[in-house]
Amino acid sequence: MTVLSLIILLPIVNALAILLGAPARKSALIAAWTQLALTLFAVFGYNRAAGGVQFESSWNVAAEWGMSLKLGADGLSLVMLLLTALVTVAAIHVTPRIEKREGLFYACVLLIDAGAAGAFASFDLFFFYAFHELALIPTFLLIGIWGHGQRHAAAWRITVYLAIGSIILLVGLAKLYLAQNVALLHGHRTFDMVVMAKTPGLIPAAAQGGIYIWLLVGFGVLISLVPFHSWAPGAYASAPTPAAMLHAGVLKKFGLYGLLRVAVPLLPEGAKQWAHLLLLLLVLNILYIGLVTIAQKRLDMMLGYSSVMHMGYVFLGIAAGNAVGLSGAAMLMLAHGLSIAALFAMAGYLRQSSPTLAFTDFGGIAKKAPFLGYAFGMAAFASIGLPGFANFASEIMVFFGAFGSTPRPGTLSFSAIQVAVICGLWGVVIGAVYMLRAYRQMFMGENSGTAQVAEPSCCFRWAIIILLVALLIGGVWPRSYLSFIQPSVEALIGK
């Protein structure tokens, strides 16, 4: 049994143990910390000089179809597994006391963790999809049973949207499988993503456009690409803190990871056909959703819309299609996951003082809870891309990669993607406006509201510190993450 098998099985086994009567919180913490230790073992044990997929294991499921449970990890997978483990540890530590069905609550959290880890570690197309679906059911239960406000409506909305997106994605993956040129695979189709990526011309150019749009829409719904975004802000605002952290911070990255892992290497001609549509939608994600975010009066809704907005930057890096832009997009997935998880954790803590999380209910928090003020400020600065955090390094790479992806020597005109970059730069300004305004209203000045906020516990503080330290490492030393990400990205695009 490989380290990746243990990383996936550990939360599943502990979830079952909790449902059978094991101490819920203690078992969840043991699983989360052990998973983090195993993930760090894999990260430091990965041979970066050799590169490629390592820690491989495979179990045949349907050999005649080319289907097997194949686990492995390259640098990109490891970074996403590290994100999953870090956010899971933090999410369990910041969870307040659960008054009802505590065992089921923590079992759901661990199953989301297992589903995300399984998707990032799976190199079989079918199980890559199946592991993600495993995580959707507990997400629905967490929001519907332990959520806030209009939790039932939010739970059904996210379920309907993501179910439709999953069906569309399944059709796209089926079309991808059936379109394979079997002559290049000795007469047999395969679900093996490593084999598919290493087989040039596997998907005929004429078929790529039709497949790509199915994948773009399917993944786009899961990622909250405009106009398929309306499920996300309300769901995150209604979700209990761990669910918001895990879905916005980790599970939403499944769609982006899927585009990088599947669409980029296998459908380059399809990406070119739909490039202008993708650029239009990502600009709407940045500018339109950014303006909607400015209009929010509650912290949870502001963070929900902010999470949707920042997906536009990752799409911009994917649209660039070169090593710099794609590496920046992958690193931004990590950076955004860490920063939004920290922000949702602190929003969940503030909800205990004011269930509505309206800006007007707060004021001067930093005086009574200096750690909370300092930590929220750091997470907010990371979110808007302040230098010194991983978000800044990754966004710079996205902008440089996208702006230089279609050079036009000898002319002053701009290409479509360069116009999208210029629009994206205005999004940085918009992000600074809504985030700094919220920070000023809630944490600075006098306490003009009714909420009384005390300093969080030591356990809570260490959970936030873990996320912030990971962000600072990526900002001060970007190579710590890029040394894993960039070789994997270059292998995907054949460089």
Q: Are 317 and 393 a contacting pair, CB within 8 Å?
A: no
Q: Averaged over 455-474, what is the pLDDT?
A: 94
* Statement: residue 6 has pLDDT above 70: yes
* Statement: residue 258 has pLDDT above 60: yes
Alpha-helical (H) ranges within 46-74 are: none
Q: Which residues contact 75 (CB under 8 A, 6 or more apart)?
A: 46, 48, 51, 483, 484, 485, 486, 487, 488
Q: How many angstroms separate the first and last alpha carbons of the chain?
A: 33
Grouping H, G, I as helix, E, B as strand and the rest as coil, residue 477 is coil
Considering only 24-38, 116-130, 350-364, 384-398, which range has the smallest mean pLDDT? 350-364
| pLDDT for the residue 65 | 65
Return the residue matching tokens 């049994």: 1
| pLDDT for the residue 302 | 94
| pLDDT for the residue 408 | 47
64-119 pLDDT, tens digit each: 666 778 899 999 999 999 999 999 999 999 998 888 889 999 999 999 999 999 99
| pLDDT for the residue 409 | 47
Highest mean pLDDT among 192-206, 306-320, 433-447: 306-320
| pLDDT for the residue 406 | 59
| pLDDT for the residue 80 | 96
Q: Averaged over 474-479, what is the pLDDT?
A: 94
Q: Averaged over 264-277, what is the pLDDT?
A: 91
- Distance between CA atoms of residues 490 and 41, nearest Å: 24
Give me the numbers of helices (H) and strands (E) for the chain, helices first please. Answer: 23, 2
Q: Averaged over 155-169, what is the pLDDT?
A: 91
Q: Which two tokens stand for residue 390?
A: 């991983």
Read off the pLDDT band of 494 (50, 70, 90).
Answer: confident
- Distance between CA atoms of residues 254 and 116, nearest Å: 7
| pLDDT for the residue 412 | 45
| pLDDT for the residue 353 | 78
Higher pLDDT, 458 or 448: 458
Q: Averaged over 270-280, what is the pLDDT?
A: 92
| pLDDT for the residue 405 | 65
Q: Which two tokens stand for residue 471?
A: 């962000």
34-67 pLDDT, tens digit each: 999 999 999 999 998 888 899 988 787 776 666 7
Read off the pLDDT band of 410 (50, 70, 90).
Answer: very low
Q: Averaged over 3-26, what is the pLDDT?
A: 93
Region of 283 (left: φ > 0; alpha: ψ -120 to 50; beta: rest) is alpha
Q: Are 401 and 322 a contacting pair, CB within 8 Å?
A: yes
Considering only 154-158, 174-178, 404-408, which range has the smallest mean pLDDT? 404-408
| pLDDT for the residue 200 | 83
Considering only 56-65, 273-282, 369-378, which range has the smallest mean pLDDT? 56-65
Mean per-residue pLDDT over the chain, rounded = 90
15-27 pLDDT, tens digit each: 999 999 899 999 9
125-158 pLDDT, tens digit each: 999 999 999 888 899 999 999 988 788 888 899 8
Give 321-355 as a DSSP string.
-SHHHHHHHHHHHHHHHHHHHHHHHHHHHHHTT-T
Q: What are residue 67's DSSP bridge partners?
A: 62
